[in-house]
Structure 1
């Protein structure tokens, strides 16, 4: 004979198992629906124009070629004629190039006129703000005000001006803005203008997205981890650091210690070797999805380090993040 207590225990266990099974089933259904929704693509790609900045090399160059193969009408903006010529030779005749310096308003206006002639009444479907620089980066005390301005002018002010100039064309097409930020737009790992500029890109993109959603324009943010591009070129970064170290007042150099520069570059090179991925298609695939998906995401984390380390670290208490980041750099040792 089953006692009342045993029956009650059985009902509780059965109910608990049922709830667990229902929760797992609901989670599986939600995940499946999300994956199906995320995989849906837009129609009429061959009639959609996309402007990509910074196409001389790196992410922009690869993205322009990928979009060209996909069928988009790509307008690739390069800083140099050499970069534009190389890109044209690697793409189909349908791909157009133009010269663009995002820090020069006259250059931006010429690019706008070129794009207007190409797009006509259709408007501009996509704008990918990819142009950017990193150097100078390093300890904040080693910087001058002009060093911050140099990077901010390209990575943030230039991006804002290009976006504002092309917004009417994007509204006409109810298109997409794709802004390349960085995990350094979440964590300020190093001094100089780069982290500041990427935090600014994040903020500008968030406000732009909320304003433009009323007009059917989507805004997506790409947050790459560390990849092997000109932005992470150790040769350029180390040469700049050596010049800065040599130009510092003797008192400042003493406060860091004679061996600080060598230790700094050694740890930086070690971190880059571990973190930097050569597969930049992980980034361009995110950009392509933001342009071609029926439901683009708001943010794309690109790279294992971004997904598994940097972005989770950005949500931890500041004291924990500071402790971990300080491990990656040497401490000053006053001589």
Structure 2
């Protein structure tokens, strides 16, 4: 009995391996638009796809960042300035993409642009702190996608949304996990709606990685700025010792973070080159062997594990 079960599992993975090795043709004729190419995953992906032969359309936040990227790539890669929180900027970028792709359509849309701060215990934050992240990580993704979908549909292409393992397990307060849960839901509905048109939608769920957006210094400074604005009553409830412990937990998380950004960009490349990309890619050992299994555990067990590993507010002691 067990032997048959092992055989079936082995056959499943063999067939999946074979399907995922089939590559689409004429990559040099396919356009891919990537948001957030100033640094991190987006910057590496733009250079990686350019080397692979794609016609990369990369968006950056400033002309200086765009110029640096162009200096590192071939003449095929072109850049545009884009602020995903501004409708006018998205509209202008959409028109720019239309002029470049023409009748071929857009093979790939990679929604990579994102921010991660301010992140802190929910009670320390304001509505504006939540909105700042949601406007970029969720509403910006939605608006960019809605504007470019006709071009993706024309090419029967791919939409790739960068989520996080924090879209599976809420690891911190603030808008970051909320935005990533939203990306998961948006991607699911989009995948089902667009399957009839031959468009494939994939979600990338990285674990902890060190990028320009996610660094210990960035998080620590943001947490201290938020703490300094917290009202005295809340400060008294949490206490200075909680703040110190919270900062230490953040530091330890980044010490365990991976520096191998290529493991993420390789998955994104696979979604754009494979005939049969996956719907989801969990990337990183922490994502695959801890957070992903954790997301399927009973809520009471997850809550207990999180409680035991978190610092205690002063008034809870």
**Alignment TM class, shorter chain as reference:** over 0.9
Show the counterpart of 1:167.
149
- Separation in structure 2 between the aligned mates of residue 29 and residue 254 of structure 1, nearest angstrom: 59
Aligned with 2:314: secondary structure?
A: coil
Deviations 1:235-271 (A, max 9, x none): 1211121122122222211111232111110122112
Deviations 1:96-135 (A, max 9, x none): 1110101111111111111111111000000000000010
Give the one of 304, 308, 316 matched to 1:323.
304
Give the one of 164, 189, 201 matched to 1:182.
164
- Separation in structure 2 between the aligned mates of residue 22 and residue 326 of structure 1, nearest angstrom: 41
Show the counterpart of 1:7.
none
| Post-superposition offset of 1:153 | 0.3
TM-score (structure 1 length as normaliser)? 0.92
- Separation in structure 2 between the aligned mates of residue 178 and residue 49 of structure 1, nearest angstrom: 14
| Post-superposition offset of 1:23 | 4.2
* Correspondences of 1:1-335 after superposition (within 5 Å): 19-274=1-256, 276-334=257-315
- Separation in structure 2 between the aligned mates of residue 293 and residue 257 of structure 1, nearest angstrom: 52
Q: RMSD of aligned C-alpha atoms?
A: 1.3
Larger Rg: 1
| Post-superposition offset of 1:230 | 2.7
Equivalent pair of 1:268/1:329 in contact (CA under 8 Å) = no
TM-score (structure 2 length as normaliser)? 0.97
Aligned with 2:50: secondary structure?
A: helix
| Post-superposition offset of 1:37 | 0.7
Gaps of 5+ in 1: 1-18
Equivalent pair of 1:271/1:328 in contact (CA under 8 Å) = no
- What is the total number of aligned residue pairs between the two structures? 316
| Post-superposition offset of 1:21 | 4.5
| Post-superposition offset of 1:301 | 0.4
- Separation in structure 2 between the aligned mates of residue 321 and residue 82 of structure 1, nearest angstrom: 44
Q: 1:250 to 1:293 in 2, by over 3 A?
A: same
Q: 1:232 to 1:219 in 2, by over 3 A?
A: same
| Post-superposition offset of 1:22 | 4.4
Show the counterpart of 1:12.
none
Gaps of 5+ in 2: none
